[in-house]
Structure 1
Amino acid sequence: MEIRWLLIGVIAAVASIGFMNKWHYPSLPIESVTPREAIQKMNASELDLVEISRKGDEIWYIMELTKSGMEGIDDKIIAFLDGKGWSFTEKEGSGLFFEKDDERLIVSTEMWTKHYVLVRIPSQI
């Protein structure tokens, strides 16, 4: 009888530690950063769009979803790239299309959790 309660206590402790350490977040589509590190970078920054990984020809960012939803996320991405000289042309699904000179840029967004959105931007920005 005592062993059963000890086992229940150990399982509860491990579950609590895992939850506090963000083990409950889904995996990321990038290998260079853990979910916990991505959340820490987001929480440590005052920026809306926080870089979490730069690999090859793409840069991954994380954004926190607010009351304005995906429309607010899109607006912040558009403003960010407008500041870099890219003009927004259209949105199709989760892709935002931009143009600058004769170049075209496609930015994709992905709901990672109900609170966070991942943004993939080609490094040509």
Structure 2
Amino acid sequence: MKQVGIILGIVVIVAVFMFFNKSYYPPLPIDHLSAKEALEKLKSSDERIVEVATNDDYTWYITRSQSEVDENNQ
């Protein structure tokens, strides 16, 4: 019973770490910028499209969007 408590405790700690660290976001194709940092730039801006990085011949942007679910088409 003690082992189940230890395993459950470890799972909870890992889940809390992942939630607050946002490590469940997919990686970006930009080496020096994490998904968490890109989202912070978007949150701190009032614009719908935000430039997050420029490297070589490319400029990377992140956008706000709302996903809409068609509940009639299930």
Give the TM-score taking structure 1 as reference length: 0.50
Q: Which residue number corresponds to residue 30 of structure 1?
A: 30
SS at match of 2:66: coil
Map of 2:10 onto structure 1? 10
Higher helix residue share: 2
User: Structure 1: how far apart are the matches of 2:64 and 2:26?
Assistant: 15
Within-5 A mapping of 1:57-76: 57-66=57-66
1:1-125 mapped onto 2 (5 Å cutoff): 1-66=1-66
Any gaps of 5 or more consecutive residues in structure 1?
Answer: 69-125
RMSD between superposed Cα atoms in Å: 1.6
Secondary structure, in 3 states, of the residue corresponding to 1:29? coil
| CA–CA separation in structure 1 for the residues paired with 2:55 and 2:39 | 19
Taking the aligned partners of 2:49 and 2:27, their CA distance within structure 1 comes to: 20
Partners of 1:8 and 1:53 lie apart in 2 by 40
Code of the aligned partner of 1:59: T
Question: How big is the shift at 1:28?
Answer: 0.8
CA gap of 1:10–1:67, structure 2 versus 1, over 3 A, is closer
**Of the two structures, which has the highest relative contact order with CA contacts closer than 8 Å and spacing of 6 or more?**
1
Which has a greater percent of strand? 1
